Amino acid sequence: MAWRDSPKDGFGDSDPIEEELDEILGKIDDITESEEEDNQQELIELCDSALEIVEISQPENIELRDLLNWFAGYAYLEQADDDVLITRGLSYINLISNRPSRWHLAYAQIHFYKENFKEALGHLDLLENGILIDIRTKRFDRETAQAFRQMSKIGRMRINLATGQMKEYEAFFSEYLRLITHYGIQTGMNHFGVSQDLIRFDSNVQHLEAVLPIEDEFGALFGMQEALNSQISFLKGDINESNRFAYDAKERVTKGDVFDADVWRTFLVDENDKTAPHFTIGAFECPFLDRPPGVYCLLEERNNKYIESIGEVNSG
């Protein structure tokens, strides 16, 4: 649950906190710091309880009320796969009086999901203006600010691709590349999947390849070099070469000292999980927003085509 303050941050050391509210806020802290994905409903119920207490006992505490509304709204949006849940989430988020940068990111994503691309771009403009304010007020540190900026560029690239604005896409890719080259990768997104999902020109992949840690322990284990080469070949139109590199990527993962074929199958199952929500507030950094083939599913498809081609040659 990234970029979220603790609800207790809204209080000074001398502020009176009712015992019940303090207990609820502690539980909210535990949930928001947890990596579990199935606790959104509990978080919503806790926020509702805390909001009732704050409304009665501390109506002047706008900062805490805003934060609780954000947590509850975010929790709805994270599990949203239909308009009802989105509407419920917005009913909380719309109550926020001091709208932070993440508020605009949420709305940009919602509009993107609904294919309201003009409105999505408008909120990305507001997001980038908000980042400047958050830096001046010291609400954001350097890493958080850069993470939001990188996600904004990713969002703009996705919108440009969706609307066929390839010149604008190229311009924002250059901006995105500049950010991750200068500041490092701050979004935590799956850059292994970027080449399959977001990067549409072989020159883009080559530039991205220059700044990704594809030869470190992580990159080597997951076959990132081979996967990127597969995408470059695909974009150049050399399908056979693309399939061969996909085969090499699978061999790298399944025949390595750490992973095996079971791990590869796990990747495929995860990417084909139909129960995963279609919509998440962080989908600008999610490579599978529109449910294209996931990275490993795509490599598996290319690998299988390469093994049909070997079979044809051998049988001939």
Per-residue pLDDT reduced to its tens digit, 167-178: 998 888 888 888
Question: Mean pLDDT, to the nearest integer, of 120-138?
Answer: 90
Dig out the tokens for 22 from the structure.
Answer: 């303090």
Q: Does position 189 have pLDDT exceeding 80, yes or no? A: no
pLDDT band at 188 (very low <50, low <70, confident <90, very high): low
Q: Render pLDDT for 41-99 as a digit per residue (tens, 0 to 9).
A: 999 999 999 999 999 888 999 999 999 998 998 888 877 666 788 888 889 988 988 87
In the prediction, which pLDDT does 125 show?
94
pLDDT of the residue at 208: 74
pLDDT score at 14 = 47
Region 238-266 average pLDDT: 88
> Can you spell out the DSSP letters for 123-142?
HHHHHHHHHHHHHHTTSS-H
Confidence of residue 194 (pLDDT cuts 50, 70, 90): low
Q: Which of 128, 97, 93, 123 is nearest to 111 (CA)?
A: 123
The reported pLDDT for the residue numbered 257 is 72
Stated as kind and residue range, the H or E segment containing 63 is: helix 62-78
State both tokens at 166: 């390839």
pLDDT at position 289 is: 42
For residues 252 and 223, is the Cβ–Cβ distance under 8 A?
A: yes
Give the amino acid at 26: G
DSSP state letter for 14: T
Average pLDDT, whole number, for the chain?
A: 80
Per the CB < 8 A criterion, the answer to whether 193 and 262 are in contact is: no
Question: Whole-angstrom Cα distance, residue 120 to residue 34?
Answer: 30
pLDDT over 80 (residue 5) = no
- The average pLDDT across 171-187 equals 82
Q: pLDDT: is 287 or 155 the higher one? A: 155
Q: What is the pLDDT of residue 196?
A: 58
* Residue 284: per-residue pLDDT: 53
Cβ contacts of 113 within 8 Å, gap of 6 or more: 86, 279, 283
Please tell me what DSSP assigns to residue 24.
Answer: H
Using CA atoms, how far apart are residues 281 and 87, in angstroms rounded to an integer?
13
> Within a 13 Å sphere around the CA of 41, how many CA atoms are in the beta-carbon half?
1
Domain ranges of the chain: 1-98, 99-187, 189-316
Question: Identity (one letter) of the amino acid at 213?
Answer: P
Instruction: State the pLDDT at residue 283.
Output: 52
CA distance 232 to 182: 24
Share of the chain above pLDDT 90, in %: 25
Per-residue CA distances from 128 to 118, 131, 173 (Å): 16, 5, 16
> Lowest-pLDDT range, 15-29, 74-88, 147-161, 280-294?
280-294
d(CA 57, CA 36): 31
The two structure tokens encoding residue 194: 């970027």
